[in-house]
Amino acid sequence: MTTKCNTLKILKILLVTCLTLVTLQYVINLVAYSYVSRFFGMELMFRHNISLVQYIPMFGKQSKSFSSFNKSVSVIPPYSESVKNLFPSNTSQINRTTLNQSPTTAPTSPNISLLTKERVTNESLPLCPLVPPKLVGPLATYTNAISFEEILKNSPNLQPGGRYKPKDCVARHKVAIIIPYRDRITHLQILLQNLHPILERQLIDYGIYVVDMTLPTSFNRAMLMNIGFAEALKIYDYQCFIFHDVDLIPENDRNLYTCPESPRHMSVAVDKFKYKLPYASIFGGVSALTKEQMLKINGYSNLYFGWGGEDDDMNARIHRKGYKVIRYSVDVARYKMIKHTREKSNPVNPKRYKLINTGKARQDKDGINSLKYKVEKIEFLPTYTYILTTINQTEVEAG
């Protein structure tokens, strides 16, 4: 009887000990996560381009609280697993026949050779480091507009068209920044003043493309992004594309404007929304895709004239083709939104819900492969490339 009692006591002690250890480990995990993310600015994640839960072994699987942030978030793989995105074996220009338009010739310019031909890579230069050494993390953003001349003085290494590539190493990423635009000159000046220094520190081979459309057609943000994709590929052999609203200013240069392994939503935390994700499936504001991803998804729908719906449609397109949206931490993917009122030329789109509900049936025939537009002019300005287009809404909606 005594032996049996002793055994029960030992089992109780072991049970209490196990529960104590499990609780202790849970507390340590929470403290460690809070400490690292708050005091090191997610440095560990960016040093190897992986998530914190993957880097620290004690975390094991993602906790429910972390994964509930967005069910579509997945771990961003290390750069070493993204070779196909960094240096594709065949990056030929998109077939203009597929775009249903005739070739567009850029206007004559004394520097046109810099823009329409591949820049020669110096094979003696090393690859740029995986983690750019001059990144500073959180930034003080500029919210007062300065002239384009002053922007150029602050970024004197820019080439015509707002192009840049590192001088001392070979960039790992060739990126086109596509900005859908209408009558926001002050916002554009503020964005470029903030964005150029960030991209230069990130050691990216990049160009900035501002895509505009003539009046009186209702603004079509999604179609302008498709046009920017198509036109940028005629100018340079870009590997990936950042689609960027003109009123969003990045607040952290560790939010890398690089080629994503999977479509990446970049403007995760915006001050207007108290730095919280408005809803889990959001894909608007600033987003990144590779050329291959854009072609597989068939880009954005061309039918969203007016405000609203195109980003939710794009999120659905991404998931239909088997991709998952990835995001960086809210501590890093932070943006300040420039205050503005909605333009009268951009009314709410009354068809947006119907278009979203019928998106699956249209995806393979409504997008990059059905683009119809006319390029009025292309200007290779000192701090950006300006593309003015005309879109016939009736023709586009008729299909």
Residue 59: φ, ψ to 5°: -75, -30
Which of 200, 212, 245, 312 does the annotation list as catalytic?
A: 245
Determine the Cα–Cα distance for residues 33 and 212; give it in Å rounded to an integer: 44
Which of 141, 134, 250, 143 is CA-nearest to residue 200? 134
Is 245 one of the annotated active-site residues of the chain? yes
Question: Is 173 considered catalytic here?
Answer: no
Q: Which of 205, 247, 313, 331 is catalytic?
A: 247
**Active site annotation includes 340:** yes
Asked if 333 and 260 touch (Cβ cutoff 8 Å), the reply is: no
User: 């794009």: which residue's tokens?
Assistant: 314
Asked about 337 being catalytic, the answer comes back as yes
- From the list 311, 312, 331, 366, the catalytic residue is 311
Q: Which of 205, 310, 312, 366 is catalytic?
A: 310
Residue 280: both structure tokens together: 């889990």
Distance (Å, whole) CA 209 – CA 161? 8
Task: Please tell me which residue in 48, 119, 201, 307 is annotated as part of the active site.
Answer: 307
At 112, phi and psi to the nearest 5?
Answer: -60, -30
Is residue 168 among the annotated active site residues? Answer: no
Annotated active-site residue in 58, 183, 340, 395:
340
Q: In what order do the strands lie in the sheet with 248-250?
A: 248-250, 334-337, 269-270
Q: Which residue intervals of the chain are DSSP H helices?
A: 2-39, 43-48, 52-55, 64-67, 83-86, 112-116, 148-154, 185-201, 221-235, 291-297, 310-320, 352-357, 359-362, 393-398
Catalytic residue among 38, 320, 342, 376: 342
342 in active site: yes
329 Cβ contact list (under 8 Å, min separation 6): 37, 42, 45, 52, 268
CA–CA separation, 6 vs 310, rounded Å?
Answer: 69
CA separation for the pair 127, 105 (Å, rounded): 33
Show which residues are catalytic.
245, 247, 307, 310-311, 337, 340, 342
